Amino acid sequence: MIGISKKYIYALLLLLVPFHMSEGEELSSHIINTLLSGGKKSPYPAETQKNFVIVSIDSLQFGEVNSGATALINLKKKDVTKTNFTKKGSKWSYSSEATIPMQRFEQNEFFDFLQRFSSNKDFQINHTVFPFPINTLKGKEQTKRKLIMPRDWDHLSLSESYPQVLLFKATSNGNNRKMIIFRNKEIKEEYNFIRINKQWYLIEKYEYE
C-alpha cells in the first residue's frame, strides 16, 4: 500500500510524462511504469493537477537523470517530503522516503527567499533585475521580447499561487533555479533566478503560447 506522501510524489510524476522534459523524463516515466502500473488515482484535486510548479536546480536544463532525489515542499505546512530512487542498469526503483520540517531542508534558503519575494512588494522589486526581459515563445521559436521597468511591474505571488512545489535534484546546491509553471498539463511560464553575493534575484521570464 503506497502511503499518502508517496502518492503525492507519484501523482506529480505521473503528470510529467507527456511533457518531454529531457533528462527528468526518464526517471518519471520509469517510476510511473513500474510503481503505478495498477493505475492509482491522484490524491490531488483537479485544480492542482491543472496548475502546479516544479523547481530545477540548474536554470539551463530540467531534471537530473543521474540524481534520484526529489522533494515535495509544502509551503503552507512548512514541511518537506524527500523521496529517493536508485538506478540499477536502466531501471529506477523506489528507495526511501522521509518528511522533515522545512527549516531542516538543505534547499530551505531558496524557499525562504521565494516566500518573502512573494509577500513583500518592495523586496520583490529590489530582487528583480531591471529592465526585466519577458520572452514569448511558440514551440522553440521566440516570437516576442519585451523589457519591463519597475514602474510597470506586476507583483508576483508565486508561493501563494503554488503552495506545493516539486523539486528535482533535491540534495544539490547551486546558484541557479528554474521555476516551471504548468497549466492544463502544458508548460506555460518559466522564471529564472540567480544567486549573486548570497542574494537571490529574478532575472528573466519565458511565456509559452
Low-confidence ranges of the chain (pLDDT < 50): 1-25, 28-47, 62-65
What is residue 27's predicted lDDT score, i.e. its pLDDT? 53
43-62 per-position pLDDT tens digit: 334 445 566 777 877 655 54
150-167 per-position pLDDT tens digit: 999 999 999 998 888 878
Amino acid type, 99 = T
Which domains does the chain possess? 43-84+100-208 (3.10.450)
pTM as predicted: 0.75
What is residue 183's predicted lDDT score, i.e. its pLDDT? 77
